[in-house]
């Protein structure tokens, strides 16, 4: 990779012009005084003053004492960005009726959530900047806050945005068939439950971080960014900082975890890039863990009232639910905060034949940190609603829940088909998956053991989920709504003079193994050892245009582009080789870095010799022969809006009724993600997703006071699953290749997170139900379990 032209920390002549010939001092931009450019570091560091309250009017911000701190260069307020940053609005046109006001990087006259940036200190070190932040005096008039999403639409609640008539951001209803007619029948059983899902966040190992530098001589902005979608951010910085898109370079390599957290526009990061342009200096900002908990997007704060009607023989006749979710004071830009609710409406009941379906979701503003897409967007909620009701319905009619699932799951030979909510499905295998699952876990034996142990006072439960997962999205996902978010990806592959190949891809690496998958595909298709493949990702200057990493698309879309580019490069090589060897292209192949005759291992010419002939001795080849040894291909899904993965999962838990502690004993997952390219990486993706799902089910929750104060902002208070809590996670596969691509690969990165919470909820309730109680609130903490068990019947 060719790095930016600047050396971040090297002192030098970098600000303005000499005041006179030979002067070694420069006028420090924005401060009005001279500094010695031989001692001042080039890169500056940012720290932010953040709102201590959920809602307030800014009366004054006094920076007098903060400016006096040695090493402070400049302090910015929200008003300083008005002429620099074009406001941004988190709406998409295909989410009809979605509304959200314009946002700016830093609050200007009002703060709308605890943690919102209010002022930015730029200094020679992060420590100095933080010291200065502590000296800023801010006078706030605290205002009434709307913090409870369940009452946010009540007339008595304060309306956060005066230009609107309520705190409603978006609402949608899906109504298919006639659920009311089903409810009138005498031969149906109806079950109803309320589901409560705790707000939580992604906790990547590497916090959000950014380094931005602006070169005014070329109107060039270079940004190192710990994120998922470099080309998306290139467009955003261009649009809102008024810089041509070709003059914005975004570099995102080896990101230390992302999980969807790092695919959004954050005010502090935007401020850093804007200040780089203002000051013409590199600006560095790294969020600390405290800031991460307060400002990284949260997700899945939902209250759902669900209902299912089944016939006496177990047929699902109707599903109905109402959902309310609070997203913070704005819809997140550019992907919006309504996608999660929309996914829940679309996905609930997706694996099953559901003739009658009615669902409503309301998305409301509130004075808390913003919510948006996090790994498996909407899936954990949607799967928990449907499969939780499936378990309740099975219990109500005294039917095994596995048998009820088999009765209602879409048949494996019924594809293509369309769900009640309108999703188009193809190439799925629900019945094969659940059959393999029950065999793999020895379900009948496990049930018998649980029954025997219950008589001995040991309370264990088994929970299932059958699920679908959105992967490989087409342009119908975001592009249709007006967002400049690519659903296609590109790959460029070139043959080097040494016989190796270099792959440049628009997908990005967050630790999920994307680069290894791309190298494997390129090596296999082109015909070289994987050691001869180099991969570059995450740089808008050196990679083709594409979407990056989101929605489990690395192998299915990015990998397909690599496959097509490798095939095209191979055709170029064989065309040239056929001339050099006086053969036909169709009679030649590439194997282990050499051109060979098909059906023979005899080497005719090595790739290095061929490449050197082309590059250095082209005069030996016909003058009219194309000499390209580089190919670029792009790929997008065109036949379907999405490519779906399916899975069947089960959890086995033990509940200690004395302490309320839940231990996950075993977890099983059978996944159909199409063609499995790298089994080890796929299995670990699923296991990693399951771990995050266990976290949301049992441990993780962002706790707020009634006043909108986040109460747990450290890893001492916000619990994540550790190695000691993890069960053995058994993974198996069904392979049903998607017909939308040559590789046949679907995504696998989010299924574990999407399905594990439902499996654990159902397992816990399987243990509770014999005691006459159930609980459908997550996380299922010991205190919540003990509260539930107060009504239990232990006889």
| Residue 353, Cβ density class (10 Å: 0-12 exposed, 13-18 middle, ≥19 buried) | middle
Domain edges within the chain = 24-31+488-635, 35-143+205-258+262-295, 374-470+639-789
DSSP 425: E
The count of other CB atoms within 10 Å of the CB of residue 528 is: 22
State mean pLDDT over 745-756.
95
Compute, in degrees rounded to 10, the torsion defined by CA atoms 80, 82, 86, 88.
90
Name the phi and psi angles at 715, rounded to 5. -75, -5
Phi, psi angle pair for 450, to nearest 5°: -60, -40
Q: How far apart are CA 339 and CA 622, in angstroms?
A: 56
Q: What is the pLDDT of residue 32?
A: 36
Measured from the Cβ of residue 540, the count of other Cβ atoms closer than 10 Å reads 24
Q: What angle do CA 488, 372, 133 make, to 5 degrees?
A: 115
pLDDT of residue 683: 96
Domain 35-143+205-258+262-295: which topology? Aldehyde Oxidoreductase; domain 3 (3.90.1170)
Q: What is the DSSP letter of 115?
A: T
At 532, the pLDDT band (50, 70, 90 cuts) reads very high
- Other CB atoms within a 10 A radius of the CB of residue 430 amount to 26
Q: Is the pLDDT of residue 368 over 80?
A: yes
The structure tokens listed for 525 are 């298709």
Q: Which of 506, 1, 9 is nearest to 213 (CA)?
A: 9
Nearest 5 degrees, angle CA 663-CA 668-CA 671? Answer: 145
Give pLDDT, residue 477. Answer: 76
Q: Could you tell me the pLDDT band of residue 793, with boundaries at 50, 70 and 90?
A: confident
Mean pLDDT score of the chain:
93
Compute the chain's Rg from CA coordinates: 29
> Among candidates 532, 529, 527, 533, which has minimal Cα distance to 598?
527
pLDDT given at position 41: 62
Show contacts of 239-246: CB within 8 Å, 24+ apart: 239/86, 239/484, 240/85, 240/86, 240/87, 240/88, 240/270, 241/84, 241/85, 241/86, 241/273, 241/274, 241/277, 242/86, 243/219, 243/277, 244/219
- Cα distance between residue 478 and residue 335, in whole Å: 8
Band of the pLDDT at 7, cuts 50, 70, 90?
Answer: very low
Distance, CA of 640 to CA of 374 (rounded, Å): 23
Q: DSSP E strands: which ranges in 656-782?
A: 662-672, 728-733, 777-778
DSSP 78: G
- Closest-CA residue to 364 (of 321, 338, 325): 325
Strand 302-311: give its sheet, edge to edge.
Answer: 168-176, 357-364, 316-326, 302-311, 188-197, 777-778
User: Looking at the domain 374-470+639-789, which fold is it?
Assistant: Aldehyde Oxidoreductase; domain 4 (3.30.365)
Please report which confidence band the pLDDT of residue 270 belongs to, taking 50, 70 and 90 as the band edges.
Answer: very high
User: Whole-model pTM?
Assistant: 0.93
Q: Give the model confidence (pLDDT) of 99-137 as tens digits.
A: 999 999 999 999 999 999 999 999 999 999 999 999 999
Instruction: Collapse the DSSP code of 119 into the 3-class scheme (helix H, G, I; strand E, B; otherwise coil) and give the result.
Output: strand
Q: Which of 767, 791, 770 is nearest to 780 (CA)?
A: 767
Least confident segment among 25-34, 487-496, 538-547, 654-663: 25-34
Q: What mean pLDDT comes out for the span 626-641?
A: 93
In angstroms, the Cα distances linking 527 to 81, 98, 250, 556, 614 are: 53, 50, 32, 21, 19
Query: With bands split at pLDDT 50, 70 and 90, how would you rate the model's confidence at 640?
Result: confident
* pLDDT of 3 over the 60 cut: no
* Per-residue model confidence as pLDDT tens digits over 26-57: 334 433 333 444 445 689 999 999 999 999 99
Reply yes or no on whether the pLDDT at 789 is more than 80: yes
Count Cβ atoms below 10 Å from residue 397 Cβ, excluding itself.
15
* Tokens coding 382: 């949607």
User: Is 77:106 a contact under the CB 8 Å cutoff?
Assistant: yes
Q: Residue 659 has what pLDDT? A: 97
Q: Say yes or no to pLDDT of 15 above 90.
A: no
pLDDT of residue 2: 39
- The answer to whether 24-31+488-635 and 35-143+205-258+262-295 have equal CATH topology is no
pLDDT of residue 629: 97
HEC per residue, 550-599: CCCCHHHHHHHHHHHHHHHHHHHHHHHHHHHCCCCHHHEEEECCEEEECC
Write the pLDDT tens digit of every residue in 288-325: 999 999 999 999 999 999 999 999 999 999 999 999 99
Q: Which residues pair with 655 in a beta bridge?
A: 459, 662
Sign of CA dihedral 763, 768, 772, 775: negative
The percent of residues above 70 in pLDDT, for the chain, comes to 95
Q: What is the mean pLDDT of residues 4-20?
A: 39
Q: Do 692 and 259 touch, CB atoms closer than 8 A?
A: yes
Q: Are 30 and 279 in contact (CB under 8 A)?
A: yes
Encoding tokens for residue 320?
Answer: 């109905």
What distance in Å separates the CA atoms of residue 762 and residue 353, rounded to the nearest whole number?
21
Instruction: Report d(CA 59, CA 111) in Å as an integer.
Output: 11
Structure-block tokens of residue 214:
């602006």
Q: What share of the chain is helix, strand, coil (3-state, %, to 5)?
A: 30, 25, 45
pLDDT value, residue 483: 77
Please give the Cα distance from 165 to 405 (Å, whole number): 44
Tokens matching residue 69: 């701190």
Q: Distance between CA atoms of 600 and 8, rounded to whole angstroms? A: 54
Q: Encode pLDDT of 506-516 as tens digits.
A: 999 999 999 99
- Helix or strand holding residue 789 (H, E): helix 782-789
CA distance 719 to 712: 9
Where does the pLDDT of residue 614 fall: very low under 50, low under 70, confident under 90, or very high at 90 and above? very high
pLDDT of residue 35: 41
Query: 24-31+488-635 — its CATH code?
Result: 3.30.365.10
Q: Band the pLDDT of 14: cuts 50, 70, 90.
A: very low
**Exposed e or buried b per residue across 638-674, where buried means at least 16 C-beta atoms within 10 angstroms of its C-beta:** eebbbbbbbbbbbbbbbbebeebebebebbbbbbbbb
pLDDT at 26: 39
> According to the model, what pLDDT value does residue 232 have?
96
Segments in 411-476 forming alpha helices (H): 430-441, 443-455
Q: Compute CA distances 727 → 619, 691, 719, whole Å.
A: 65, 9, 17
Residue for token pair 């679309």: 346
């Amino acid at each position: 990779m060719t790095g930016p032209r600047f050396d971040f920390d090297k002192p030098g002549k970098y600000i303005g012009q000499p005041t006179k010939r030979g002067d070694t001092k420069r006028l420090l931009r924005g401060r009005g005084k001279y500094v010695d450019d031989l001692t001042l570091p080039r890169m500056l560091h940012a720290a932010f003053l953040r709102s201590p309250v959920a809602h307030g009017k800014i009366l004054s911000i006094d920076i007098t004492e903060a400016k006096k701190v040695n090493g402070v260069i400049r302090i910015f307020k929200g008003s300083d960005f008005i002429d620099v940053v074009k406001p941004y609005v988190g709406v998409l046109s295909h989410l009809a009726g979605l509304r959200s006001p314009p946002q700016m990087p830093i609050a200007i006259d009002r703060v709308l959530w605890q943690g919102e940036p209010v002022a930015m200190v730029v200094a020679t070190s992060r420590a100095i900047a933080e010291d200065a932040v502590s000296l800023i005096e801010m006078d706030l008039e605290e205002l009434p806050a709307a913090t409870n999403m369940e009452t946010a639409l009540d007339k008595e609640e304060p309306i956060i945005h005066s230009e609107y008539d309520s705190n409603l951001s978006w609402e949608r209803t899906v109504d298919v068939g006639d659920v009311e007619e089903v409810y009138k029948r005498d031969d149906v059983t109806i079950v109803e439950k309320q589901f409560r899902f705790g707000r939580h966040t992604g906790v990547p190992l590497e916090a959000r971080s950014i380094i931005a530098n602006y070169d005014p001589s070329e109107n060039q902005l270079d940004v190192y960014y710990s994120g998922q979608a470099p080309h998306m951010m290139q467009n955003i910085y261009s649009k809102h900082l008024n810089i041509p898109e070709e003059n914005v370079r975004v570099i995102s390599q080896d990101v230390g975890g992302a999980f969807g957290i790092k695919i959004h526009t954050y005010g502090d990061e935007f401020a850093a890039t804007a200040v780089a342009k203002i000051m013409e200096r590199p600006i560095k900002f790294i969020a600390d863990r405290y800031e991460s908990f307060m400002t990284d997007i949260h997700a899945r704060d939902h209250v759902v009232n669900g209902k299912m009607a089944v016939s006496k023989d177990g047929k699902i006749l109707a599903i109905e639910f109402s959902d309310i979710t609070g997203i913070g004071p704005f819809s997140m830009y550019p992907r919006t905060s309504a996608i999660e609710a929309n996914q829940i409406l679309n996905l609930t009941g997706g694996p099953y034949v559901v003739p009658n379906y009615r669902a409503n979701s309301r998305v409301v503003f509130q004075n808390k940190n913003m919510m948006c897409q996090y790994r498996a967007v909407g899936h954990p909620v949607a799967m928990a609603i449907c499969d939780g009701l499936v378990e309740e319905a099975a219990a109500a009619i005294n039917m095994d829940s596995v048998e009820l699932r088999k009765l209602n799951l879409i048949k494996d030979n019924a594809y293509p088909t369309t769900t009640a909510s309108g999703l188009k499905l193809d190439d799925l295998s629900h019945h094969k998956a659940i059959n393999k699952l029950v065999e793999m876990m020895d379900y009948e034996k496990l049930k018998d053991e649980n029954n025997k142990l219950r008589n001995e006072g040991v309370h264990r439960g088994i929970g299932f989920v059958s699920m679908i997962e959105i992967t490989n999205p087409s342009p119908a996902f975001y592009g249709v709504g007006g967002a400049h978010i690519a659903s296609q990806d590109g790959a460029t592959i070139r043959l080097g003079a040494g016989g190796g190949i270099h792959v440049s891809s628009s997908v990005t690496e967050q630790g999920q193994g994307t680069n290894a998958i791309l190298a494997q595909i390129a090596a296999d298709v082109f015909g070289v050892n994987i050691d001869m493949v180099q991969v570059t990702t995450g740089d808008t200057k050196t990679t083709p245009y594409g979407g990056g990493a989101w929605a489990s698309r690395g192998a299915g879309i990015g990998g397909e582009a690599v496959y097509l580019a490798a095939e095209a490069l191979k055709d170029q090589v064989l065309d040239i080789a056929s001339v050099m060897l006086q053969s036909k292209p169709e009679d030649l192949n590439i194997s282990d870095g050499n051109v060979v005759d098909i059906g023979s291992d005899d080497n005719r010419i090595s790739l290095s010799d061929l490449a050197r002939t082309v590059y250095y001795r082209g005069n030996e080849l016909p003058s009219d022969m194309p000499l390209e040894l580089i190919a670029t291909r792009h790929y997008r899904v065109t036949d379907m809006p999405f490519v779906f993965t399916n899975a069947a999962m089960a959890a086995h838990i033990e509940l200690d009724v004395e302490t309320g502690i839940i231990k996950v004993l075993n977890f099983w997952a059978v996944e159909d993600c199409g063609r499995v390219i790298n089994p080890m990486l796929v299995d670990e993706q699923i296991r990693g997703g399951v771990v995050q799902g266990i976290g949301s089910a049992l441990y993780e929750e962002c706790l707020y006071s009634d006043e909108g104060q986040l109460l747990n902002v450290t890893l001492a208070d916000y619990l994540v699953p550790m190695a000691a809590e993890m069960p053995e996670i058994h993974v198996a596969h069904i392979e049903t290749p998607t017909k939308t691509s040559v590789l046949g690969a679907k995504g696998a990165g989010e299924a574990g997170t999407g399905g594990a919470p439902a499996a654990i909820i159902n397992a816990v309730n399987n243990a509770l139900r014999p005691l006459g109680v159930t609980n459908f609130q997550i996380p299922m903490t010991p205190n919540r379990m003990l509260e539930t068990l107060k009504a239990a019947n232990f006889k």
